[in-house]
Structures are given as C-alpha cells and as structure tokens.
Structure 1
Amino acid sequence: MNGWFAAAAGLSAFTCGLHVIVGGRIAARPLLAATDLGRIVKFTTYYCWHLVTIAIGALAVAFACSARAGAATDLAVFATVIAFLFAMWSLGMIAMFRLSLVQFCQWILFFPIGVLGLIGSLG
C-alpha cells in the first residue's frame, strides 16, 4: 500500500465531491438558469462541467488503484501530471484574466494532489 497515493486518492475524491456539491450550486445551477446564453454555449459548458467531474473522479480511482499496487505506476504518474496541469491552468487563467486567487481557488485543490502523487511516485 502506498500511503501517498492513498492520500492523493482521498483528496481527489474530496475535491470531486466539492466540485459536485459546491460547484453545482455556484456554477452549474446558475449556468442552466441563465437566459442570456445561447443553447450551444450553455449546454456545451454544462457538458464540460460534467467532464471535469468525471476527470476528478478518475484521478481518485487512478490514485486508489496505484495505492493498492503499492508502487508508482504509469497510471499514478499520469494522474499526477493531470493534477499539476489542472493547477497550472487555474493559475494561468488567474494571471491572464486578472482573476482573484481566492475566488478562483481551484489551483489550491489540485496542487496538493499533484504533490502527493509526486511524493508517492518518488518513494
């Protein structure tokens, strides 16, 4: 059992739950209620929100499988890279569009997942 990957799996599952519950309330519901968006924009964005849900859930599964394997696997390395890419894209958007680090705090959830995955891969 790799404890670092297990921790990354748990944090990924927590992040997925947060995305569904809080993100559903502050992003998905208002998106669906918006009347000033065209159908293509609205439902493509809603579709993407669900793709993110699936991707975060897949991170949890990937890390859980790797934790059980007890060693760094290609799956764990892939999940680690994805977590870091999610964090970097969040920070990149914040910089590009001059957004608030606090209001757009997705990076703070994905960065620790990547760190846990990295430590697990090196150990």
Structure 2
Amino acid sequence: MNVWIFSSGLLGILTSLVHIFAGQLDPVKPFLKSDLPDIAKATLLGCWHMVSAILVTSSLGLTYIGWCNSLPLYQNLVIAISISFVIFSFVFIAVGWYFFKFQTFIKLPQWILLLPIGLLGLVGAS
C-alpha cells in the first residue's frame, strides 16, 4: 500500500462528499434561486456536476492506486491528477484574492482540502 496516495484518495473522497452535499446547501440552491438567465444557470449547474464527477472519479482512482500499490503502472496518472488538484487550489486562491483579498483564506476555504490532495499524491508518486 502506498499510504501517501491512498491518503490523497481518501481526502479526495471526503472532499467529494463535502462538495456534493454541503455545496448543494450553500452555493447551489441560492444560485438557482437567483435572477440569472436560465442558460447561465444551466451552464453553471452543469459545470458544478462535472466538478463533482471529476472529484469522485479521480479520488476513487487515487484510492485504488494507493491501496493496490500499483504506482509503477499509474505513476504518470497520479502525477497528473495531483498537479490538477494543486492547480485547483491555486485557482480558488486567485479567484478569492480577486474578490476578497486576505479574507479569501476564510471566505473560499476550498483550497485547504484541494492542496493536500495534490501534495499527498505528488509525495506518493515520487
């Protein structure tokens, strides 16, 4: 078992659950009740669910690879997924900085879960 990659996957599954369930309450429901045009709502809701799918599938993949210790076969995939999560965290920091400056670390805390997923995966892949 590669504990680093397995831990990355488990944290990703936890993050997926937070995204799917808590995210429906906080950003999604108020967003759907907004006065935005339906095309914008449908597009953004579609993107929300695509993110859910990416979180779940990549997290399950990392968990499986870590559990089976099949890194030699999937090392490039682990690296690609891990780098993606690091980039995702930087996106939240950048977007949050644009809107909230120093308060981004409190108002958009998603980076706190995304960054460790990527870093754990990268450590396990090295």
TM-score after normalising by structure 2: 0.89
Unaligned regions of 5+ residues in structure 1, if any? none
The residue identity in structure 2 corresponding to 1:116 is L
Name 1:104's counterpart in structure 2: 108
Name 1:13's counterpart in structure 2: 13
Q: Is the 8 A contact 1:62 1:79 kept in 2?
A: no
Q: Provide the C-alpha distance between the structure 1 equivalents of 2:11 and 2:93, rounded to a whole number of angstroms.
A: 19
Of residues 91-100 and 46-55 in structure 1, the stretch that sits farther from structure 2 once superposed is 91-100
Name 2:29's counterpart in structure 1: 29
- Cα deviation for residue 95 of structure 1 reads 1.9
Of residues 97-106 and 6-15 in structure 1, the stretch that sits farther from structure 2 once superposed is 97-106
Which ranges of 4 or more aligned residues in structure 1 deviate by more than 4 Å? none
CA deviations over 1:52-98 (Å, ceiling 9, x no partner): 10111122122123212342512111110111010010111122223
Name 1:93's counterpart in structure 2: 95
Unaligned regions of 5+ residues in structure 2, if any? none
The residue identity in structure 1 corresponding to 2:52 is T
Give 1:61-100 correspondences, 5 Å limit: 61-67=60-66, 68-71=68-71, 73-99=75-101, 100=103
**Which protein is richer in helix relative to its size?**
2
Q: Provide the C-alpha distance between the structure 2 equivalents of 1:47 and 1:112, rounded to a whole number of angstroms.
A: 26
Identity %: 26
CA deviations over 1:10-66 (Å, ceiling 9, x no partner): 0000000000111011011112222x1101111111111101101111221221232
Of residues 69-78 and 44-53 in structure 1, the stretch that sits farther from structure 2 once superposed is 69-78
How many aligned residue pairs are there? Answer: 121
Q: Provide the C-alpha distance between the structure 2 equivalents of 1:74 and 1:62, rounded to a whole number of angstroms.
A: 13
Q: Provide the C-alpha distance between the structure 2 equivalents of 1:110 and 1:59, rounded to a whole number of angstroms.
A: 12
CA-based RMSD of the aligned residues comes to 1.4
